[in-house]
Copies of this chain bind each other. A is one copy, B any other.
Amino acid sequence: MAKLRAVLIGATGLAGQQFISALKDHPHIELTGLAASPRSAGKSYVEALRAANGMTAWFVPEALPESIAKMKVVSGEEIQARDYDIAFSAVESDVAKDLEPRLARDIPVFSAASAFRYEADVPLVIPPVNAAHSDLIRAQQKQRGWKGFIVPIPNCTTTGLAITLAPLAERFGVRSVLMTSMQAMSGAGRSPGVIGLDILDNVIPYIPKEEEKVQVETKKILGSLAHGVITPHDIQVSCTCTRVAVLEGHTESVFVSLAEKASVKDVVAAMREWRGAEVARGLPSAPPQWIEVLDEPFRPQPRLDRDTHAGMATTVGRVREDNVLPNGFKYVLVSHNTKMGAAKGAILVAELMHAQGLLR
């Protein structure tokens, strides 16, 4: 079967680079188009990366693939949607607002931007958690008169939380969750991102808009789809999001209240035994295990655990009873914010919808 031809918008930024790196040698998807700002248009990709000081601004650790380096960059305006089967979007939210719908008229758009996450007809998909939400695109296409559609991925801080809540919701029911995040700097990108002068020997206790995103998205992802409408889960979510001097990998301290009685052993077993949606297992980017529960009390740690299963697993540790919340438990999780929480997470959604027969 021919590979899906994909165009990447926002190709030169950090998030775009992560898409390029993650799509290298992908079995079903081939990157055949690169788009960026008009300033980059007409240049080869490697030239577009070259900043004023002569330095090639390629930031991911894996080498820039040769074939991509030579590929010509077009501006968003110039993209001919009919030349591609799908699009990946790594642009900022304000650009996404205009560009993603234009592409979605013709082709599916898998987006890391937040612009459409909160629209009623837009699903927010984490494959093992809510693969069935994909169906919402029917309503979206109908309502908007599009041949394609837009499916964004959640905020990177939501992802690990929602994944760990999913097995608990399925087995015991979940009533509420209070979460404090210690987030990596890569989540803030590079323009300008987190300044070294601000974060060294420090914690920054606020990330604008982050807490609201996590609160709304978690309810939507765990919600149920019926008759073309997602009813958010009635779990109550409250969080405080902070930034720490970590390169990659968000750490979250979670306090959760279950609907039913359970033991620590039950909670650990629920996470360990969780296989997620059948259709999501075995996707090319899926990890062998969605959640890895670690027994050692000093784990998970972002530096040691972020890359578990190529950054696609959520690691959990320190599962204990909590004596404050009804049927309360507490645990710590680590999730890779720029792999499962960004580019690779969006690719996983494309793989899912491909498996679901929703592409082409």
Residues of A within 8 A of B (CB): 53-56, 59, 61, 176-178, 180, 182, 185-186, 190-206, 208, 236-238, 240, 242, 244-247, 251, 253, 255, 257, 296-304, 307, 317-318, 322-325, 328, 330, 332
Contacts and interface: CB of A to CB of B under 8 A. Distances in A.
Contacts of A198: 196
B255 A297 contact: no
A61 B201 CA distance: 14
Nearest to A59: B197
B247 A318 contact: no
5 contacts: A54-B296, A190-B197, A192-B193, A202-B302, A204-B298
* Closest CB pairs A-B (n = 5): A192-B192, A180-B180, A180-B253, A202-B303, A205-B332
A203 B304 contact: no
Contacts of A182: 182, 203, 242, 244
Given A55-B296, A195-B196, A238 B328 contact: yes
A296 B304 CA distance: 30
Central interface residue in A59, A177, A247, A303, by most chain B CB within 10 Å: A303
Given A55-B297, A194-B197, 11 more contacts: A55-B298, A182-B182, A192-B195, A193-B195, A196-B200, A202-B302, A204-B301, A205-B300, A205-B332, A238-B255, A257-B324
A202 B302 CA distance: 6
B245 A200 contact: yes
Central interface residue in A192, A238, A300, A304, by most chain B CB within 10 Å: A238
A208 to B, nearest CB: 6
B202 A246 contact: yes
Contacts of A177: 324
A22 B168 CA distance: 40
A302 B245 contact: no
A330 B245 contact: no
Contacts of A330: 238, 240
Contacts of A301: 202-205
A328 B255 CA distance: 14
Contacts of A236: 323-324
A205 B251 contact: yes
A240 B55 contact: no
Contacts of A325: 178, 238
Contacts of A238: 255, 322-325, 328, 330
A244 B247 contact: no
A255 B192 CA distance: 31
Given A208-B53, A244-B203, A197 B185 contact: yes
A197 B192 contact: no
A67 to B, nearest CB: 21
A193 B257 CA distance: 35
Contacts of A186: 197
B200 A201 contact: yes
A186 B301 CA distance: 18
Contacts of A257: 324
A256 B202 CA distance: 24
